[in-house]
Structure 1
């Protein structure tokens, strides 16, 4: 692929040069040629001679082009009309030109036709766009071409005129003629054709983020609630006059879209304070003003030129926004392109806007440099002139400095206003920060603050007393009836506590279901305060849907001998007394109704195991193993009784699981396993209705938790799992592994022992597991005794 450049000065000389090129072409085997025309001239009468000469000398060669704000040849400013002959050297390389008219078809239809054409043209690898300045947003075109295959590259520019504020522009081609309302696309491809496109911006954000609070299509109405134009006027002192576009170009907006940072400039400032942009800006998005950093731009261009050089292009097509000429006003308009000079023959033009496809999305940019590198065949090393080193010395112009000063001043003033509002808000927050929003009591912050004050008192005569309180069964009320029920209990507890203790001390909510009272009340008043609390609870429960019970623990700061406790010991003593009271609450009520319920539960267990012969007597064996392990750990008789009872009930929740799932011989699906994982929760809910202690219910609920926190239903970890549940988990695993199941045979005792040892600290509590392994022979004997008549499997 090669370029041959012609500058059109007059028809005679141009035709003579073109004829010489035609002779060269014939001597070199008549390679495929097409012509690209960049023109600052838009008058079709002045352009016709060029088209006529091209068709006379090269009658079969296609040509296309558009109007520009300046032309580029070999990285330098070129003549007003520049013609490039693109020479295709390989027979497999293909190209095709299409032209569309906005006045005859909608832009959505045009985008759809282009997408359809690519499906009929499987060889296409790249699409080059020449787009007239539209009276509408380019967003519909960009979104319409997103449907193209992801590996098709798209690049190009919006054609314009030397006056970048003018709406006039044109395109022209051998396939569609001259148009002021059109779109040209060129398809490139073939197996030997290679293309790589890139963009360079260099603009850096300044100041605050602005939220797009009102926009419609490409009309931007409001930024952070103020007219969009006012942002330029307030922060940069840019007036809404004929120079607005030129001045605003120095401070374009950075806009994040499709995961790409896009530079957007205002095409017009409207009387209502809105700005007309070249493409849509979505409401809710964030934009920031930006400015050009010369050093950053040059560094980016240098890096991209090195990347382009590795690609070894034969031809470069350059689309540089006309606004960049204004940025480098103290240099030649092609100043920044010096790094690309000599890499490959190149042509291009200064555009009104630029197109580039990235991450599968076509975006339209402003004030951006887009460069497409093309070649035929594999990478070959070629000697070329060394690219120039760009000097970035640039004297800052006074208007820029003045506007930056305005920006900084206005931003500083806004920050002062924000700080003032923050001070007011902080004063308000100090009032509410120590109040619990659900109950209206003081919160943990206020509690800790009072303790800090008390800790600094030196007097030995104070009568400080602390009451720590806990709502009994809140977690299970949440699990059974939902968190709304739990919130109602918390509010009821707060009201009861405040009515009883509020006049005599400070009342706090210090945790989810934890309350505290700190009072100076005399000792002889404490009984009356506690009695008042119990009466308040009793009155509430007469009409309540959810039963309220509160455990209370008391501690005096000074003991009977007058010795002052530390704050931590004071809290600890109250906490221990509260838990003693909670144990009293957990004791089940003995009556005939409760016993009947428990008999029913035992019957349900028998029904569960009767449905599956493979799990017969499973609960009894888990109970026996749990008792053996609990005794080996040296637990008290009451604890052993609690754990063995829970072990017998651990699978009661399977009553709520479908027989189809319980008896399924194949591997369970993920959905079916999720259902199985609900049986501990179902079991806990059943037992709650039978007045079993909370400790027992917790063991049933958590017997499938794992020591590493990866169990269910709550993912408890380590010692946060009740000790009874940790014991039952091992006992349950032993019987499960050594029992025959519908989907597998029984595993050997040696295999079972190895699995437990391997999973210490993972599935099982390592301390409990170690004790279990130390008493393994007793486990084996227990198992054999319960399976009388079955052969011993070692």
Structure 2
């Protein structure tokens, strides 16, 4: 595949050159030829001599051409009219020229015909487009050609005139004549024909993101709710005058479409503040102003020229946007395509817009360079063809470019800050209407919903309100601390949401107060309340703190259809809730708690009676604990608390299976895990009996170790209540000196050594040292307890 170039300066010289070329063709086997004409002259009368001479010398050879803003031959600007002969050397290579007129067919119909033609000719590998400037968008053409087979490449340009602000343009061919409202298409292909197309942009985003808030077709009305023109006026001080097009060309828009970053130039600014673009921009998309970056362009040129070299082209067609000439104003207009010069012969022109198919979609670009590389046959390397790289020195960044980069980066940072602020504001909005502990909506959201319901026009409604209160929360807070209370609140929220979350709005409106508001038929309420009870029962099976919820129900409309006021609706639910709470808190005799405590003591005796080896274990631990507490010099109230806790420390064993509790041998890991539950079970029992928070905590933690390796919570050091640390030593002393079914009692010396060896591990070292210092007194007490004669202290 080759090119032969002719400059049309006068008819005689042109005809002479063509005759010589005709002779060459005959001598070389008459290869397939077509002629391409690029002209910066639009007058058909001045172009007619070119066509006439071509048809005179080559009567059966097709020709086609277009108007330009300047012609390119071998990567250099040439005269007003340039003619190139495209010589196809392989007999399998084919081409076909079609010309269409917008005034006779719609652009959609033209696109359909192009697709039909390509489908009818399976040899087609490339479609080259020459498109006159038109008052309509190129979007329909681009979308219409997307249905072409994926392997077919599409490239080309929008033709223009030397005045790029002018709408004047034309195409012409041997198959369709001359027209200012046309579209010229050349199909290329064949078994030995290969093509590769690429684009170079080099524009960097500058400033903030703008959302396309209003557009229709290729008319852009609003960017971020501003008239589109105001973006250029406000941020770049570009006036809406005769120079708008030229000034705006320096700052085109970057637009993401079909997964490709596309440069869009504003063709005109309209009186209403809208911008007429060369192609459609979709509403909802994001655009940014951009600025040409010389270094970025040079880097892209270098990479693409190296890639083109690997393809080994024989002929290149170049479509370079006329606006790029202004960008390289200090150089020749073809300065940037210098690296492609030695790769192959080339022809092209300065265009109004550029076409390229990428990722299966045809897109129309502005201020972009598109190059199509073609060859026939396999890759043949020519070592003489070396890339001529652009000098680095000549691409030094001007002050304007550096300022643009600075503005771009600072704008990007501001966008990030604004994005974070938006997220924070959304979060604050959520926080304002969301309860932080439970994640349910809060009182503010509840009041807002009531306002909405109050404004309803309908006098009949199936709104239902369920007011709820956690029973015993104050007692849980006082006895177990606020951590326990919070656990109950979260558990209540989960149970309420689990039952009503899909049908109603769930709120936490106070410390232990919850509300559900929902539209629900009367017959569904029982089912939902049953789900709530089941959720509570399921939670209580494994919970440390018992959950109970009082519920008060109220319908907005009475059975007779009378709609209550919002305040009466709330009051009725509140009263019903308190009636339910009263049923939970039945009146009791003043000695009820003492009766429960007596019952617990009885249960301890029953538990110890099951195993003769542990009989009176609680009494002995109580006595040893009291003795140790006195050695420590604790107050009488603390001694009383510790001794009472010591007496109750193993109450939870009543909930352990007998076959595990009295097993005569070493426990398995699973059995030991069961045993380890007895402090938790004991704490639950004591909680239900209104024992103090401090005592429950001692019983819960009497098997913690000083080094943090104990159970149930792995508390460490002084995080363990002091009463639990005292009982831990007392409990160990009695365990070691008691006969068990699986071993004999251990000696007092062994017991002393074990305590000494485990100071800081199992036992509080300070308490342990006091015990060892008073060891003889401990032994006296132990022997007294074993003999049945209590030691008098």
* TM-score under structure 1 length normalisation: 0.58
Task: State the partner residue of 1:335.
Answer: 335
Task: State the partner residue of 2:80.
Answer: 80
Task: State the partner residue of 1:104.
Answer: 104
The C-alpha deviation readout for 1:636-692, integer Å capped at 9, x for no partner, is: 69x9xxxxxxxxxxxxxxxxxxxxxxxxxxxxxxxxxxxxxxxxxxxxxxxxxxxxx
Task: State the partner residue of 1:17.
Answer: 17
- Shift, 1:438, TM fit: 3.8
Relative distance call for 1:236 and 1:635 in structure 2 (3 A) is closer
1:302 matches 2:284: no
Task: State the partner residue of 2:59.
Answer: 59
Whole-Å Cα distance in 2 between the matches of residues 218 and 409 of structure 1?
31
The secondary structure found in structure 1 opposite 2:502 is: helix
Q: What stretches of structure 2 of length at least 5 have no aligned partner?
A: 446-479, 517-534, 537-545, 555-571, 586-633, 639-651, 656-666, 678-793
CA contact (8 A) 1:73 1:347 kept: yes
Task: State the partner residue of 2:502.
Answer: 484
Task: State the partner residue of 1:575.
Answer: none
The C-alpha deviation readout for 1:263-283, integer Å capped at 9, x for no partner, is: 101011111111100000000
The secondary structure found in structure 2 opposite 1:91 is: coil
CA contact (8 A) 1:266 1:276 kept: yes
Whole-Å Cα distance in 1 between the matches of residues 496 and 400 of structure 2?
70
- Shift, 1:497, TM fit: 10
- Shift, 1:384, TM fit: 3.5
Task: State the partner residue of 1:272.
Answer: 272
Relative distance call for 1:409 and 1:124 in structure 2 (3 A) is closer
Whole-Å Cα distance in 2 between the matches of residues 427 and 398 of structure 1?
43
The secondary structure found in structure 2 opposite 1:209 is: strand
The secondary structure found in structure 1 opposite 2:207 is: coil
Relative distance call for 1:380 and 1:428 in structure 2 (3 A) is closer
Whole-Å Cα distance in 2 between the matches of residues 497 and 560 of structure 1?
47
Task: State the partner residue of 1:155.
Answer: 155
Whole-Å Cα distance in 2 between the matches of residues 385 and 336 of structure 1?
18
CA contact (8 A) 1:492 1:540 kept: no
Whole-Å Cα distance in 2 between the matches of residues 550 and 391 of structure 1?
93
Task: State the partner residue of 1:387.
Answer: 387
The C-alpha deviation readout for 1:611-652, integer Å capped at 9, x for no partner, is: xxxxxxxxxxxxxxxxxx999756769x9xxxxxxxxxxxxx
CA contact (8 A) 1:265 1:366 kept: yes
The C-alpha deviation readout for 1:381-428, integer Å capped at 9, x for no partner, is: 124343322125257778878988999999999999999999999998
CA contact (8 A) 2:293 2:401 kept: no
Whole-Å Cα distance in 2 between the matches of residues 419 and 473 of structure 1?
34
Whole-Å Cα distance in 1 between the matches of residues 583 and 339 of structure 2?
79
The secondary structure found in structure 2 opposite 1:147 is: coil
Whole-Å Cα distance in 1 between the matches of residues 441 and 157 of structure 2?
64
Whole-Å Cα distance in 2 between the matches of residues 126 and 497 of structure 1?
69
Whole-Å Cα distance in 2 between the matches of residues 222 and 155 of structure 1?
31
CA contact (8 A) 2:443 2:510 kept: no
Whole-Å Cα distance in 2 between the matches of residues 122 and 104 of structure 1?
27
Task: State the partner residue of 2:624.
Answer: none
CA contact (8 A) 2:207 2:411 kept: no
Whole-Å Cα distance in 2 between the matches of residues 131 and 476 of structure 1?
68
Count how many residue pairs are aligned between Structure 1 and Structure 2. 520
Task: State the partner residue of 1:324.
Answer: 324
CA contact (8 A) 2:229 2:274 kept: yes
Equivalent residues in 2 for 1:370-769 (5 A)? Answer: 370-392=370-392, 393=394, 438-440=440-442, 467-468=485-486, 469-470=488-489, 483-484=501-502, 487-488=505-506, 494-495=512-513, 633=671
Whole-Å Cα distance in 2 between the matches of residues 33 and 391 of structure 1?
38
Whole-Å Cα distance in 2 between the matches of residues 334 and 199 of structure 1?
15
CA contact (8 A) 2:40 2:68 kept: yes
The higher radius of gyration belongs to 2
The secondary structure found in structure 1 opposite 2:290 is: strand
Relative distance call for 1:549 and 1:17 in structure 2 (3 A) is farther
Task: State the partner residue of 1:201.
Answer: 201
CA contact (8 A) 2:552 2:575 kept: no
Task: State the partner residue of 1:241.
Answer: 241
Relative distance call for 1:482 and 1:411 in structure 2 (3 A) is closer
Relative distance call for 1:133 and 1:475 in structure 2 (3 A) is same
Task: State the partner residue of 2:287.
Answer: 287
CA contact (8 A) 1:472 1:549 kept: no
Relative distance call for 1:561 and 1:249 in structure 2 (3 A) is farther
The secondary structure found in structure 2 opposite 1:167 is: coil
Relative distance call for 1:548 and 1:271 in structure 2 (3 A) is farther
Whole-Å Cα distance in 2 between the matches of residues 327 and 183 of structure 1?
28
The C-alpha deviation readout for 1:235-261, integer Å capped at 9, x for no partner, is: 111111111111111111110000111
Relative distance call for 1:432 and 1:114 in structure 2 (3 A) is same
Whole-Å Cα distance in 1 between the matches of residues 411 and 669 of structure 2?
77
- Shift, 1:533, TM fit: 8.0
Relative distance call for 1:551 and 1:442 in structure 2 (3 A) is farther
Task: State the partner residue of 2:256.
Answer: 256
Whole-Å Cα distance in 1 between the matches of residues 149 and 507 of structure 2?
60
Relative distance call for 1:281 and 1:465 in structure 2 (3 A) is closer
Relative distance call for 1:630 and 1:218 in structure 2 (3 A) is farther
Whole-Å Cα distance in 2 between the matches of residues 170 and 242 of structure 1?
24
* TM-score under structure 2 length normalisation: 0.59
CA contact (8 A) 2:143 2:361 kept: yes
The C-alpha deviation readout for 1:727-784, integer Å capped at 9, x for no partner, is: xxxxxxxxxxxxxxxxxxxxxxxxxxxxxxxxxxxxxxxxxxxxxxxxxxxxxxxxxx
- Shift, 1:482, TM fit: 5.7
Whole-Å Cα distance in 1 between the matches of residues 266 and 581 of structure 2?
65
- Shift, 1:549, TM fit: 13
CA contact (8 A) 2:206 2:404 kept: no
The secondary structure found in structure 2 opposite 1:156 is: strand
The secondary structure found in structure 2 opposite 1:208 is: strand
The secondary structure found in structure 1 opposite 2:85 is: strand
Task: State the partner residue of 1:3.
Answer: 3
The C-alpha deviation readout for 1:166-218, integer Å capped at 9, x for no partner, is: 00000000000000000000000000000000000011111111100000000
Whole-Å Cα distance in 1 between the matches of residues 180 and 104 of structure 2?
12
CA contact (8 A) 2:263 2:366 kept: yes
CA contact (8 A) 1:235 1:406 kept: no
Whole-Å Cα distance in 1 between the matches of residues 112 and 31 of structure 2?
33
Task: State the partner residue of 2:448.
Answer: none
1:142 matches 2:153: no
* CA RMSD across the alignment: 4.4
Task: State the partner residue of 2:620.
Answer: none
CA contact (8 A) 2:206 2:411 kept: no
Relative distance call for 1:23 and 1:470 in structure 2 (3 A) is same
Task: State the partner residue of 1:314.
Answer: 314
Whole-Å Cα distance in 2 between the matches of residues 476 and 435 of structure 1?
17
Whole-Å Cα distance in 2 between the matches of residues 488 and 417 of structure 1?
33
Whole-Å Cα distance in 1 between the matches of residues 431 and 145 of structure 2?
55
Q: What stretches of structure 1 of length at least 5 have no aligned partner?
A: 444-462, 499-512, 515-529, 553-558, 564-579, 585-628, 640-794
CA contact (8 A) 1:236 1:406 kept: no
Task: State the partner residue of 1:621.
Answer: none
Relative distance call for 1:532 and 1:386 in structure 2 (3 A) is closer
